[in-house]
Amino acid sequence: MIRWNDLLVGAPFYFDRRDERGGAVYVYMNENGSFRNETSVALFGFAGSGFGMSVAAIGDLNQDGFQDFAVGAPYDGTGKVFIWMGGPEGITKEHSQVVEGKDVGQGGFHTFGYSINGGMDVDHNKYPDVLVGSLDNRIALLRARPVVHLNKTFIVEPLLVDPSQCSGDSCVTVKVCFSYALSNGDPDFKGNITVRYTVEADSARRSSRLRFLGNRQNELTDFLSMPSGRCREHTLTLVEPLLDKLQPVVFSLSVSLYEQKPRAQARLQNLDAFPILDPKQEVVGKTEINFLKECGSDNRCSSNLQLEATFTNEQEVPFPSEGGHQVMQFNSSVKNLLLLVDVTNLAAPGRLAEDAHQAELNITIPPALSYVQAHPSDTGIVCGRVKDTGPLLCKLGNPFEGNQKAKIQIRFQTSGVSIYTHKIECTLQLTTISEQSDLDPKHIDLLVEYTLQTTFSVAPHSMNVEFSGTVMGESAMKTFQDIGSPVEYTFMVNMEGVPLGTLGNLVLEFLWPYEVASGKWLLYLTEILTNGVSGSHCIPPEDYVNPLKLNASAPSARRRRELEGMEPEQTEPQATITLRTPQKKNVLLDCALGANVNCKRFSCPLLNMNNSATVKVRGRLWNGTMLEDYKDDHITVKGLASLKLVTSRPALKMETVTREFVVNIDPKFTEQQQYQAPLWIIIVSALGGVLLLGFIILLLWKCGFFQRANRREMYEAKAQTAQMKIQPSENQKLEEEF
């Protein structure tokens, strides 16, 4: 067999600024006695290291049949020697070993690796050694240690463990055996080699299912010294309770040589006491065992877990579905809802329903809901939250057996549902370590149609007013007092929950009785005040409020004096109510019926309302209309106010609420009173009467009114002549008597 030598070329002054590399060694592989123009492998050192200053073939250090070489880098720190091991795959770019000058002997090297020579067995241990020179007037001899090929046997029994039969101190046995041979094939080598080995059971699991009897752990480290092949056994027992019977128990073995520290001696020590493992040899081993399961002859479990989930109310009545989605009509009275989950493991065409080991159900809890509790139908099912803010985890059983069914009722509080909640989404994930490939997450959602809970009231619901006085025309009116009696209603709105914000707003819509059917004023609207919303007044878009632009208050005292000094305007007498007469009839003026009344419709948006708002509507009864058309009647006026929701979001709803407000109107009757003169007139009149009476008495006395006639003259008969003449007056009679 012809062996072709390869070519190595050192370039210690090579420099690559971009990659910050300095020094290179180019390897040219010999192909049947010739070399290619291109390098087969290029090796590089660090900038300024002088890598490649020395290159030497150093023989077969590990006696694997492939030549090795060394490269010096004298300016890399205190100097370094890099060693590459040859192999069947050729030269790799990564070195096999590096020796630094500061670690050799007592140190003190500064250009270690400036020169290299090798291939000679100095200590006659059948391994070539390496001589390294420097510019420090010193050299170093690097001797090769014996390389050991370790043979190992790793057996775990039994391969199939029946948990029901695994009790006491004997369950599983681990057996390890070792033997070795030198890489140079020397049969006379009988050195004492100590092997350090570690056996670990269930290394990939957080909690192991088996543990060694010796240390009650799942990991055991021991030493074995041998001049020849030897074995050792270890026993493991089962950890109760056994949860996972499906996954195999993996055992791992790792091996290393126990290395002694060399003693300081004046002469060279025999390196047979310091062997090393072949670096190319694998020093780990793995094997596994399985647990016996009720899963058929192949001991493989194929489950068929399925689930169905539905949102329901507290009476377990499912919410209705629209377009493939459940829809919940929500308001603040809905405090709880349920999620009903049905889990089955039933056989289906082409599907087995074997035991589902470590079957679990993971349920994400929507932010709008608060978990309360879970009620499984099977006592073997345990549910609980992973963390306070984590998902809900239900352990369905180990195993969840074939042909088994389970039902879980999960209760949630709706404390987080608000007007901003459009959808409640929940994800359910079944898991098992049994074989089942279709366990995909199941997403269910519940659309929320939020119904606002509001209260709407009016105070007072009904009020009584009266009219009286005289009729005054529009042109003569200056203030609201000139119109008639005031009417005022307060409309109160309260809403539960968070404010609407940008989702919409509440609106008060009025049907206000402002005219009678003849077109005369009825309830004149003077002012609309708002509280708890943006702005202090509601101003409808049309000129509904105070269209005559009257003043709210009476004129000042000076203005009144000016008005009193003006000549009164000549007007024809107006109707007035002075005497109480029987009422003619009851008159109904109702906006809802449109009976004998004209009503205006206008709205007051409750913008930026929080949770409550009030709207005060003020008006005046038109006194003139009552005096002209209804002066003897009892009138009932009815208007309407409705609370509505205006929003662009279809899922946000509110039932329109309508309230009626009533005005009962009656005439105010007043009886005429006799004139009562002032006191001074009474006194003067009395004195005048006394004086007049005295004058009359004096006059009568002068005339002899108080003188009496004698009795003879009174009763003496006189001859009377019958004749026709006019009856004398009383004065004449008196004169005749005298």
Cis bond before residue 241 (omega within 30° of 0)? yes
Looking at per-residue pLDDT, the higher value among 602 and 584 belongs to 602
Q: Given a cut of 50, is residue 292 above it in pLDDT?
A: yes
> What is the C-alpha separation between 298 and 697, in angstroms, rounded?
157
Q: Tell me: the pLDDT tens digits for 693-719? A: 888 888 887 887 776 655 555 555 555
Q: Judge whether residue 374 has pLDDT over 70.
A: yes
Q: How many helices and strands in the chain, by DSSP H and E?
A: 5, 42
Among the ranges given (122-136, 184-198, 390-404, 646-660), the one the predictor scored with the smallest mean pLDDT: 184-198
Candidates 490, 500, 707; CA nearest to 611 is 500
Per-residue pLDDT at 6 exceeds 90: no
The span from the CA of 2 to the CA of 20, in Å, is: 41
Lowest mean pLDDT among 49-63, 85-99, 281-295, 434-448: 281-295
Residue 73 tokens, joined: 């880098």
Q: What does the alpha-carbon distance between residue 59 and residue 258 come to, in Å, rounded to a whole number? A: 27
Strands 442-451 and 325-330: parallel
Q: Scanning the structure block, which residue is given the tokens 């509904």?
A: 544
**What fold, for 148-261+270-291?**
Immunoglobulin-like (2.60.40)
Closest to 604 (Cα-Cα) out of 592, 590, 616, 591: 616
Lowest mean pLDDT across 129-143, 173-187, 419-433, 459-473 = 173-187
CB atoms within 10 A of CB 724: 4
* DSSP-based three-state secondary structure for 257: strand
Interacting residues of 663 by C-beta distance below 8 A, sequence separation 6+: 462, 463, 464, 465, 487, 523, 621, 636, 637, 638
What span, in angstroms and rounded, lies between the C-alpha atoms of 202 and 252? 8
This prediction has a pTM of 0.56
Q: What pLDDT, in 10s, does the model give residues 7-48?
A: 999 999 999 888 889 999 999 988 887 888 888 899 999 999
Mean predicted confidence (pLDDT) in 605-619: 94
Q: What pLDDT does residue 487 have?
A: 96
Range 473-486 average pLDDT: 90
Q: For the segment 548-573, what is each residue's pLDDT rounded down to a tens digit?
A: 999 987 555 554 555 444 444 433 33
What would the mean pLDDT of 403-410 be, rounded to a whole number?
Answer: 94
Whether the Cβ atoms of residue 545 and residue 618 lie closer than 8 Å to each other:
no
Domain 454-551+583-667, CATH: 2.60.40.1530
pLDDT for the residue numbered 358: 86
Spatial neighbors of 109 by CB under 8 A, at least 6 apart, are: 78, 79, 101, 102, 134, 136, 138, 140
pLDDT score, position 569: 40
The alpha carbon of residue 281 and the mean position of all alpha carbons in its chain are separated, in whole angstroms, by: 57
Residue 132 has pLDDT above 80, yes or no: yes
Q: Is the pLDDT of residue 162 over 70?
A: yes
**Mean local confidence (pLDDT), 486-502:** 91
Name which CATH class applies to 305-451: mainly beta
In this prediction, what percent of the chain has a pLDDT beyond 90?
45
With cut-offs at 50, 70 and 90, classify the pLDDT of residue 405. very high
pLDDT band at 634 (very low <50, low <70, confident <90, very high): very high
pLDDT of residue 738: 45
> Which is it for the CA torsion 471, 477, 480, 481, positive or negative?
negative
Write down the H helix ranges in 397-516. Answer: none
Could you give the CA distance from residue 525 to residue 683 in angstroms, rounded to a whole number?
Answer: 53
Question: Which is more confident, 677 or 337?
Answer: 337
- pLDDT at residue 581, as a whole number: 52
Q: What is the pLDDT of residue 185?
A: 63
DSSP code at position 259: P
Task: Strands of 302-441 (E only): list them.
Answer: 305-312, 321-322, 325-330, 336-345, 359-363, 370-376, 382-385, 392-397, 404-413, 423-431
* Residue 309 pLDDT > 90: yes
Q: What is the pLDDT of residues 175-198, one digit of tens each?
A: 999 888 877 666 666 667 888 999
Distance, CA of 273 to CA of 369 (rounded, Å): 72
What's the CA gap between 466 and 485, in Å, rounded? 7
- Report residue 182: phi and psi, to 5°: -75, 150
Q: Could you report the per-residue pLDDT of 652-702, keeping only the tens digit for each?
A: 989 999 999 999 999 986 554 555 678 888 888 888 888 888 888 888 878
